[in-house]
Structure 1
Amino acid sequence: MHSLLIVGVGSIGHRHLRCFQQTGRVHASICDSNSELLNQLADQYDVKDKFTDLTSAMASRPEIVLISTPAHLHIPMATTAVEAGSHVFVEKPLSTSIDGVDELVERAATRGVTVGVAYVMRHHPLLQQLKQVIDTRRFGQPLQVTVNSGQHFPFYRPAYREIYYTSHETGGGAIQDAITHMVNALQWLLGPTTALVCDAAHLSLPDVEVEDTVHVLIRHGEILGNLSLNQFQLPNETSLTINFEQATVRCDLHSGTWQYCTQPEGDWLPGGESSLERDDLFVAQANAFLDAVEQGASPACNLHAAKHTLQTNLAMLASVRDKQWYQIP
């Protein structure tokens, strides 16, 4: 059994606690400054060890530290854990600034610990099937990608007004909190993002001012793409279309299917399907990170990949502000 300390047990930290426990591979302890929440979850999940500050929690010498605090705290907390010799799993995004990221990479390498970032879409069975299609060049080179995504955020996250989401400085807004998932997934599928221009605005969500709608024109080298996301539409749907040299592939994550068409006016042919329960992706993510720790392997999303997504997040925010294209390092 691995000793796992979860730092920050709000909405996503609560989910990580539940899902890591479902692996049957960890003994969990929890840390949060909200003692009422801490006691509630300790009782609900039979957690024996609980802490209200990171210093006391780290004194217990956890093997793995999972950080699910607001994003501006991720790097300093991860650095503290790495310096203590713990493996670290960080909730996305990696940070709200590039400051300290390279130092964290260096310290993790020096200490010989595994550090991963929780971009959970890399564990989606349909996207894993599409990655195999892309990597084997089954339909030739990918040429163009389109993503359309949306959900009714107040229904799925009713506490959004009271948490980190309200401010860019803490990782809030649709760019850093939502569309970053598919940006990271496309980087995994298609390679690094090389350039983008972004438009975003607050159109609907009550009681906040951060953007709830994002449109991005994006390049992955020679591959052209566009992503559109909003957080107020009623259907919870995400669709991904990739035009290859020899076929078009359409993946509907909400219905759990992907199809392909190889002829003009041709029928859509079944490519694959996947039926997921609510926590399946997060349990798969938890098992994969534990596997990486045990095997000394690179996690599904390592620090280098997460840094690139962070740079892309920051470029999107800057593009909205400056109304211009940005090249991504």
Structure 2
Amino acid sequence: MRAWLVVMMMALAGCGVQVTGAPCQDDLQCPSAQRCTPEGRCVAGARSGEHLEESCRTTMETLARRADQCYGGKTPESYQRLADAESVCASVVASVQAGQQAFVPERFGACVRQLRDLPCGAMTLEEFSQGNLLARCEALEPQAAEGNACGGPLDCQGGWCDTSVGCPGVCKRYVPAGSACDGSVPCQPGATCSRNVCRASANLGESCAWGVRCAPEANAACVGSVCVARKEAGACTSADECAPGQACVKLAAGANAPRECRPARGLDEACTPGALECGGLLYCEAASARCRPWRELGQTCFNPGGTDELALCLGSRCAFGPFAQLVCQQYVAPGAVCVVNGDCGPTGACRGNVCVTTWCR
């Protein structure tokens, strides 16, 4: 008892008390000269460059958990697969080793906190699956200037990494907001190419017509060409209109049945096929009437069971196979023909109808 009182008095006096093994969510919750492990325990030894790969994995896990919170599926592991976290982190390590990117260990605790609290408006499946949200980690600093070699989206200072002719790529400028665009060169962050002009994201109450995005910080949905706040309950037409963890549920059968925001069902929870009750990366399986993960390589996709449940693919793409049936297939290889970014997988993109690698290793 006396020892515990001494520790408490030292803490109140501002003295550092080493509590190895204490639970934590990030480095900032651990005493100085300690770090928070992926298992959530403080251990001796400050974070350093030796912990880069582990740190990258932690950021991807943090993003996956946040995406799962926003979409209500209770399947953070599926989100890691969707983004191919292993390949993304291999690219980050390669870029740091090449001097195209810098890892600042002392900022890692703040990075984790920032990613843990990302606005759900930033958690579009496209942004998440392409690894772009990792750019919000302040512990990873771009080092490559315009015209220099780069290996991924995080390497360029104030620009993007053009890998259209292969790896390594070359750092180029974004198209600034208000300038002409054709979709071949990305607009600066916070802007979208709409009707051949890079247009800034819209705030609450502003127009989101013609593909303009609502600002992520607004946590809004584009409804009737206007950005409106997501709702906890009430009528809806898509899950985007509902607050984090909610699904836009059909109240009756039929394509035009009314829908309303309700808490999303999680993995293996009971559901009604066709009611669209399941959370992100899940669908209501007709045979079991349970929420199950998206489909695997070789399985039918898009609308398995004919219940109008959307079920895409994890670790693969949904495309037409034999007998014009939609089936989960391997991603298109770099250099091969593609139609959309999803054809090329999470570490690739479709540019000029050809797959290119976006995260070099």
The question of a shared fold, defined as TM-score above 0.5 by the shorter chain, is answered with no
TM-score, with length taken from structure 2: 0.25
Structure (1 or 2) with the greater helix fraction: 1
Structure (1 or 2) with the greater strand fraction: 1
Answer with 1 or 2: which has the greater Rg. Answer: 2
